[in-house]
Amino acid sequence: MINFCTLFDSNYIDRGLLMYDSLEKNCKSFHLYIFAFDDLSFDVLKKLNLKHATIISLRDLEDKDLLKAKSNRSKVEYMWTCSSSVILYILNNYKVPSCTYIDADLFFYSDPKILIDEMGGDSVLISEHRYTKKYDQSKISGKYCVQFMTFKRNENGLRALNWWRNACIDWCYAKPEDGKFGDQKYLDDWTERFKGVHVLENLGGGVAPWNMHQYSFSGDNTLTEKSTSKKFEMVFFHFHAIKLFSDKVDLCPYYLPKDFLDTLYFPYVKSLLAVRERLKGIYKSLFEDKIVPKASLKALIINIKRRLMSEYNIFGIDYFR
């Protein structure tokens, strides 16, 4: 049994449910602990009665330290602040031997057990961004990505996790400052700071818009690393930065190779829209139509730059229906 945890609010519940569906399809034995970050998402998730999930409210998670941090963080910053705490909550309250945190906008294409098995006797599993050179943000965002992390409930695992939680409560903001950024830059020195930290080697864990240009995709879930011709099976893709509006979809501000666009992004967005329709049957007020913001001068310049860089991935919503 693999124990996962994740967190999201009603704005991201469609991604979270699509991720859950992909686990049901590909993971033989799992349980997902979902932290609902607003009342609406909690109510909807409870009504869905998901077979392999436990729904936990934000009120159950929050303690005095988190509430104090909450008072001076934005919504996103507070979610980042809580990422370490949700893992610790599961290890402490459910006494599972290990817990793997996963971002809500991941989608699994094969069993993630192979990734967790790779850590062997180590206590912590982290994964690199593996940035394509053009998109390398490691100096600001960090070498490692919080997207998929495993902690065992043992001395080494808890030492790293408690240190991370305390650091995030002390400082976790969406800006670079003194070598920090959000909850993520803290991970940079973990292989030296803590014992038993394993860096994921399987390239199938962590394919994302910032690194997909290093691979070619055949469409049968097999990718090839261009520099080595090494073939590997994709375990999950990180659908970061997708924005849905009433009449348009912005897939991401990165160059999208056609093989990824046709085989991954278009099917994912179609599934996302289908999940939204399913959820609206429970709560009509979910996903109130968001209109594309009026073009400011800054937005206009950004869009011109994206077009010049072949990074303008905005499509009409009807394309996906």
pLDDT digits (tens, 9 = 90+) for 191-208: 999 999 999 999 999 999
Report the alpha-carbon distance of residue 42 to residue 37 in Å, rounded. Answer: 7
What are the start-end ranges of the H helices in 181-289? Answer: 190-193, 258-260, 266-280
Do 117 and 29 meet the contact criterion of CB atoms below 8 Å apart?
Answer: no
Would you state the CATH architecture of domain 2-214? Alpha-Beta Complex (3.90)
pLDDT digits (tens, 9 = 90+) for 15-52: 999 999 999 999 999 999 999 999 999 999 999 999 99
pTM over 0.75: yes
pLDDT at 291: 57
Write out residues in the chain with pLDDT < 50, as ranges: none
Please report where in the chains the tokens 């912590």 appear, as a residue: 124
pLDDT at 299: 74
Query: For the chain, what are the domain ranges?
Result: 2-214, 243-320
Report the alpha-carbon distance of residue 10 to residue 197 in Å, rounded. Answer: 34
Report the alpha-carbon distance of residue 129 to residue 146 in Å, rounded. Answer: 9
Report the alpha-carbon distance of residue 267 to residue 107 in Å, rounded. Answer: 11
Q: How many CB atoms lie within 10 A of CB 125?
A: 24
pLDDT at 305: 83
Looking at this protein, which amino acid is placed at residue 17? L
